[in-house]
Amino acid sequence: MAERVIPLVDERAASRPAIVPPSPQTPTGLLQDQWGRPLRDLRISVTDRCNFRCNYCMPKEVFDKNYQYLPHSSLLSFEEITRLARLFAAHGVRKIRLTGGEPLLRKNIEALIEQLAALRTPDGQPLELTLTTNATLLARKARALKSAGLNRVTVSLDGLDDAVFRRMNDVDFPVADVLAGIEAAQAAGLTGLKVNMVVKRGTNDDQILPMARYFRGTGVTLRFIEYMDVGATNGWRMDEVLPSDEVIARLRAELPLIALAPRTVGETAVRWGYAGVDGLHDPALGEVGVISSVSHAFCGDCNRARLSTEGQLYLCLFASQGWDLRSLLRSGANDAEIASAIAPIWQQRDDRYSQLRSEMPPDATPAHTGRRIEMSYIGG
């Protein structure tokens, strides 16, 4: 087995200036990149801090007590986030996902959600507003999140076995408290809950069936995510990836599944519905999903941009550089100028890392000009 090497280089600051073009570009909601992909989904990291130390995201070897987090003055304020979100909505964004780190660690996050919930698309529709969390604070915040206007929550949970889960979060946090957070979210009226499980071969793949059994018929959609080569600190190896095809095969050996069509263009998960006694999908039993960015690239219709907690815009989860929108915000630029600067950034986008990687031999990766940004910095 290959030795695990964790680089200690901090490249959060790697970014390019966002330039206001000489001719303004009025938002039309129809932006497309070099591959014809529209801008529809904006993922906003609201903090670089997390109270878990999952080894595939924020391993203790790097994120220890001496790690220097961003000072509060570097973070975008709620007003700055909302201003940018409004401009992105004008360019075509319909969905916003709040991420981290752990987004519920950001003080008064409900106030930001309330501001974002008031935004509208050019045709007057509210944005879909979601949040991804490890659920450590969800039980106490669920009702406030719902009242503020949050539509849906996605919870990260990598196993039901308490020993496995405590080992993976590496801070000895119990499964029972995560499950209590999920129940609180459902009781608060947050519908369409999803649970994301990152699967690592030899670490927690024995939890696939227990997780499926537990959430089947509960109204919660379980999604299995292939362990990805995001960032540089997680010591990723191809032999720890369990392909989604194998996940589905394990599930189908016990639980009959029916392939389901995607709900929207650009959806990351491939959907499978639980079959009833008649062999057809039974909506009461729910569904599972698999996210296969390693074994089955879905770059072709990726419509997501990511905004870091300090206002750097990234066009791919595997990017090595972003564009500095914070400096533009704080320079006194008006909305028209900022919107005009955002447009060409997306229009010149040609990122398709996972697709290129899938065309190469195993364990090879596409060449990069710099170290990939950490998932904990721009969210999943």
Locate 147 and state its tokens.
Answer: 């009242």
Give the SS3 label for residue 278.
Answer: coil
Computed over its alpha carbons, how large is the radius of gyration of the chain?
A: 20
pLDDT tens, N- to C-terminus, the chain (380 residues)? 444 444 444 445 568 999 999 988 899 999 999 999 999 999 999 999 999 998 888 889 889 989 999 999 999 999 999 999 999 999 999 999 999 999 999 999 999 999 999 999 999 999 999 999 999 999 999 999 999 999 999 999 999 999 999 999 999 999 999 999 999 999 999 999 999 999 999 999 999 999 999 999 999 999 999 987 655 555 557 888 999 999 999 999 999 999 999 888 778 889 999 999 999 999 999 999 999 878 776 677 889 999 999 999 999 887 878 999 999 999 999 999 999 999 999 999 987 766 666 555 555 555 554 555 665 666 66
- The pLDDT, as a whole number, for residue 1 is 41
User: Among all chains, which residue has been given the structure tokens 């190469």?
Assistant: 360
Q: Determine which helix (DSSP H) or strand (DSSP E) holds 283, and give its type and residue range.
A: none
Burial class (CB in 10 A: 0-12, 13-18, 19+), 259: exposed
Q: Which two three-digit tokens encode residue 370?
A: 């710099």
> Which ranges of the chain does DSSP label H, i.e. alpha helix?
78-90, 109-117, 138-148, 162-169, 175-187, 208-215, 244-252, 325-329, 335-347, 353-358, 375-378
Q: What domains appear along the chain, each with residue ranges and CATH number? A: 34-378 (3.20.20.70)
- SS3 label, residue 52: coil
Q: Rounded to an integer, what is the distance from CA 273 to the centroid of its chain?
A: 23
Structure confidence at residue 6 (pLDDT): 43
User: What is the model's pLDDT at position 4?
Assistant: 45
Look up residue 153 and give its two tokens: 């929550």
- Closest by CA to 305, choosing from 369, 348, 359, 367, is 348
pLDDT at residue 2, as a whole number: 44
Task: Give, in order, the Cα–Cα distances in Å from 190 to each of 132, 145, 160, 230, 294.
Answer: 13, 9, 22, 30, 31
